[in-house]
Structure 1
Amino acid sequence: MNDLSLFKGETAFQKLFLLFKKKYESLGRIGGSVSLKSFTDDELMAISGLTGFSVEELRGKQSITLLKFEKSLQRTRYQYDSLISFLEDYFEESLIVNKDRLILEQERELQFLTEMKARFPQIEWYIDWLSSKSADTRWIWGLYKEDPAVLSSYLDFLETTWEFLIAEKMFLRIPLFAQKVTGNPHAFDRNAILGKMLLHLLTVDQMNREEGESGFRKTSEEENDLLGFYGLIRDDLWSFVTSQNILAETDQGVHPVWKAAQESGTVMNLPLKELIKVDKVYPYERNVVWVVENSSVASTLMDLAPHAPIVCTHGQLRIAGWRLIELLVLSDVTIYYSGDLDPEGMLIADRLLRRFPESVRLWRMDERSYLEAMSEEVITEKRLSQLNKLRDHGLNKVAEVMQREKRAAYQEALVEVMVEDLRRQ
């Protein structure tokens, strides 16, 4: 190997040889030219001394070909026959063309994924998702490029986390859960990498289950609901439902507060914090509960049908709503659900039907009710496109009419007939 220290100490050659290296890696052969526009006169003077081209020639051409430099190199005392071997000695590494480098990188990635699936079989499905390299995984592949070993350690924690979540059917606050799994109570904080990866893993699971219209961009409230679905609590006060004439039990028997509320005709706001303390929930009589999306409609129904067991979810079903409905289903209760007849309201109903197909019935969400309650509000084409996600046959029949009419229908227009339904029970 020749002593190339002279070249390494000269800025002109550092710049020039780096350009040569990139050109070779791009083309896969010695060819083409590199621009000299960014070189100063002093730098061109240094190149002139090696190549035999005058500064004026170099400045005039504003470029130099790799082949011409290779020929000039052969006339120097270094006596390199090949520019490739010269560059490899200069950079002290083997030159790999970009195409070959890409193949090597792909082989390393495949080997990494294979090893990860073998080490972490519980989240093999998640590693398969990462292997797709979809847009949502780019930041995770960025972690891989920084240090595969660090990403491996994160996957190790996710494996332990997932094993716990599928084995334990309990609610835990996230700091306590993080301490239990990782030894660090802040490991799953919202801005921590592992916290972001946990949310990503849970979202992927939701998408694989096709639970609702899960997406990777979530509000803080949506993140709380996602975590709560798996028993992880970030906020157990803000998520709540409202009910009347519903009883609950713990291992000590009927809950005294729920019982007192029913006996006194009191409506209760039930935060998740209280819902996770009870084991059983059911209506005070019969085996039917009426669940309403809209709070003003629910309040009116509670006034006009004070003895009916009614639950209000206040719009989009949050974790408290899912918890209460799940407890009702476990008590073999039939749930009549009524929501707004617009794309968003119908998607909520569809999701509920998918989750509890044997227990949930639609209440005043048919074609006739839609036409009777239809408002003047025009639904945009973008919102109408959401109807394509519906699965329930009955809701799809309503969607056909909605696509034609392009109008929304709201529960307020159906209050009178809903009250009649309650009074007939």
Structure 2
Amino acid sequence: MNNNEACAAYFKGNPAYRRCFSEFEKKWNSYGRAKGIITLKHTSEEERRAIGGILGKTFYEDAIRFPFTEFEKGLQSTKFAPVNFEEVLEAYFGRKMITTQKMRMEEERIRAELFETVEGCLAEGAGPDSIVVSWLREMYSKKKYGYQTVIREYGRDRERTEKLLKTVGRALVLLEDIRETQEEYPLAVFSAEISGNPHYFDQGTTAGQLLVHGVCYAARTDYPENAHQWRELLLSNGIVPDNISSIVHIYGLRLQIGGDWHPAYDAFCRRQEPCAVTMENLQELTAVQPTGDRVYIVENEMVFSYLLKHLEQKNVTLLCTSGQLRSAAVKLIPFLLDSGAEIYYSGDIDPDGIRIADRLWRKYGDRIRVWRMARRDYERSLSEEVIGNISMKKLETVENPILRETAEEVRKKKKAGYQENILTDLVEDMDGK
């Protein structure tokens, strides 16, 4: 046993030094050396006598204070001298003495390794410049975008946290593909496809929170403050939180549910009133029957209301998708086609509206006709709303011949065309049938 070990054994065998060495440990962790003032309150006579013996002092008060350096210096006058006080502490506590700063640096190094490992894994599949990789980099560098959630989980289980980040990363990659196709996924289906657990990304789960952080990063938007904002955020990214959130408004359309014509929708048809239909209502849809041989689909709720008001008592079928086609509308369209009716679709003449119409055409061909979205309609619907360069890029992949020609004109004028500006044309088309 060397001097340091013998010294440590002596102090460890004497309970009078226990509190004193606990304070030594704190100071050494902070400074990495003997520094600072040691303060002990409510000391016993044994503690004061033991510590005073090393320092060469006599303490009379219950509270004692002394410089750490004086205790270290006093040890060099004992039978254990010479001693290395760091090694004495290590032998006393049975571990290496590491300063708080070094501990933090080591922890940070391990955390960095975690993020680098996940980043490397996701970069292989999504590419080094992908949104998901950028999200991880900025999460770590700026300590934002879900960082605190990750660190909280990291403190519980490093391996599980690594798996969590990789799973959420794969989900964000799939979301990019979904945004490109602009089709909808039920949240449960999306969760099951990514993780095998349909509730993995539910609101309130750790994975669900991280997914929302990633989505907000990609969209450069704030984290949702409530359930409504959370639902709207997911819907805007093609994820349907539940079957109730996916809605299509219909007028003049009978629905056959489970093999029987549903009396509620028959009643709406008889009364010539519109109604809202959710994906939940359409779960057991078996057939539809339009009023007449044409079905008109519009994108905008206000346009839908205007057309109904000006076509009162007319035998027409009209649907409103409220922007991007939600799963309820997607489910209805094949049944509308099977009914034999001609389908006409009209949306705003801007990059988003043109892409929706073009996607429908690519999926169903000329079975769905582009309605009032030609170049001459664009001229009549023109507004003063300027289209940004990022949105303009959406027009580069348009395939439908009519829409491609319109898109070319939109690129020249860089302004949006809105259905509200051609309402009379839409009414005349429907009234003339």
- The reply to whether TM is greater than 0.5 is yes
Q: Is residue 217 from structure 1 mapped to residue 224 from structure 2 by the alignment?
A: yes
Q: Give the conservation status (yes or no) of the 8 Å contact 1:173–1:233.
A: yes
Quote how far apart the aligned CAs of 1:148 are.
0.3
In the alignment, the residues of structure 2 paired with residue 40 and residue 421 of structure 1 have an alpha-carbon distance, to the nearest angstrom, of: 87
Q: Give the conservation status (yes or no) of the 8 Å contact 2:244–2:280.
A: yes
Name the counterpart of 1:174: 188
Alpha-carbon RMSD: 5.8
Q: Which amino acid aligns with 1:290?
A: V
Q: Give the conservation status (yes or no) of the 8 Å contact 2:247–2:328.
A: no
Quote how far apart the aligned CAs of 1:11 are.
5.0
41-50 vs 255-264, greater mean Cα deviation: 255-264
Name the counterpart of 2:55: 51
Q: Is residue 19 from structure 1 mapped to residue 19 from structure 2 by the alignment?
A: no
In the alignment, the residues of structure 1 paired with residue 119 and residue 54 of structure 2 have an alpha-carbon distance, to the nearest angstrom, of: 54
User: What does the per-residue CA deviation read over 1:55-77, in whole Å, with 9 as the maximum and x for residues that have no partner?
Assistant: 479979x562x433321222234
In the alignment, the residues of structure 2 paired with residue 207 and residue 180 of structure 1 have an alpha-carbon distance, to the nearest angstrom, of: 19
Q: State TM-score, norm by structure 1.
A: 0.59
* Length, aligned pairs only: 366
Q: Give the conservation status (yes or no) of the 8 Å contact 2:299–2:321.
A: yes
Q: Which amino acid aligns with 1:39?
A: L
In the alignment, the residues of structure 2 paired with residue 89 and residue 366 of structure 1 have an alpha-carbon distance, to the nearest angstrom, of: 87
In the alignment, the residues of structure 2 paired with residue 180 and residue 148 of structure 1 have an alpha-carbon distance, to the nearest angstrom, of: 20
In the alignment, the residues of structure 2 paired with residue 174 and residue 358 of structure 1 have an alpha-carbon distance, to the nearest angstrom, of: 25
Name the counterpart of 2:210: 200
Match of residue 97, structure 2, among 95, 98, 101: 95
257-266 vs 106-115, greater mean Cα deviation: 257-266
Match of residue 323, structure 1, among 319, 327, 347: 327
Residues 423 and 50 from structure 1, CA distance in 2 versus in 1: closer, same or farther, beyond 3 angstroms? farther
Quote how far apart the aligned CAs of 1:21 are.
2.0
Q: Give the conservation status (yes or no) of the 8 Å contact 1:298–1:311.
A: yes
Structure 1 regions of 5+ residues with no counterpart?
340-348, 372-386, 400-409
Quote how far apart the aligned CAs of 1:85 are.
1.7
Q: Which amino acid aligns with 1:76?
A: T
Q: Give the conservation status (yes or no) of the 8 Å contact 2:118–2:162.
A: yes
Name the counterpart of 1:418: 423
User: What does the per-residue CA deviation read over 1:16-49, in whole Å, with 9 as the maximum and x for residues that have no partner?
Assistant: 2133223224xxxx26x4344x631527835434
Larger Rg: 2
Name the counterpart of 2:367: none
Name the counterpart of 1:190: 203
In the alignment, the residues of structure 2 paired with residue 68 and residue 229 of structure 1 have an alpha-carbon distance, to the nearest angstrom, of: 67
Quote how far apart the aligned CAs of 1:152 are.
3.5
In the alignment, the residues of structure 2 paired with residue 73 and residue 312 of structure 1 have an alpha-carbon distance, to the nearest angstrom, of: 87
Name the counterpart of 2:300: 292
In the alignment, the residues of structure 2 paired with residue 261 and residue 275 of structure 1 have an alpha-carbon distance, to the nearest angstrom, of: 16
Match of residue 72, structure 1, among 63, 68, 74: 74
Name the counterpart of 1:343: none
Residues 266 and 142 from structure 1, CA distance in 2 versus in 1: closer, same or farther, beyond 3 angstroms? same
Q: State TM-score, norm by structure 2.
A: 0.59
Name the counterpart of 1:380: none
In the alignment, the residues of structure 2 paired with residue 299 and residue 291 of structure 1 have an alpha-carbon distance, to the nearest angstrom, of: 11
Report the secondary structure of 2:299's partner residue.
Answer: strand
Name the counterpart of 1:304: 310
71-80 vs 217-226, greater mean Cα deviation: 217-226
Quote how far apart the aligned CAs of 1:304 are.
1.3
Q: Give the conservation status (yes or no) of the 8 Å contact 2:170–2:194.
A: no
Residues 170 and 369 from structure 1, CA distance in 2 versus in 1: closer, same or farther, beyond 3 angstroms? closer
81-90 vs 355-364, greater mean Cα deviation: 355-364
Q: Give the conservation status (yes or no) of the 8 Å contact 1:172–1:233.
A: yes
Q: Which amino acid aligns with 1:190?
A: Q
173-182 vs 215-224, greater mean Cα deviation: 173-182
In the alignment, the residues of structure 1 paired with residue 28 and residue 426 of structure 2 have an alpha-carbon distance, to the nearest angstrom, of: 80
Quote how far apart the aligned CAs of 1:322 are.
2.7
Residues 8 and 24 from structure 1, CA distance in 2 versus in 1: closer, same or farther, beyond 3 angstroms? farther
In the alignment, the residues of structure 2 paired with residue 177 and residue 69 of structure 1 have an alpha-carbon distance, to the nearest angstrom, of: 62
Report the secondary structure of 1:243's partner residue.
Answer: strand
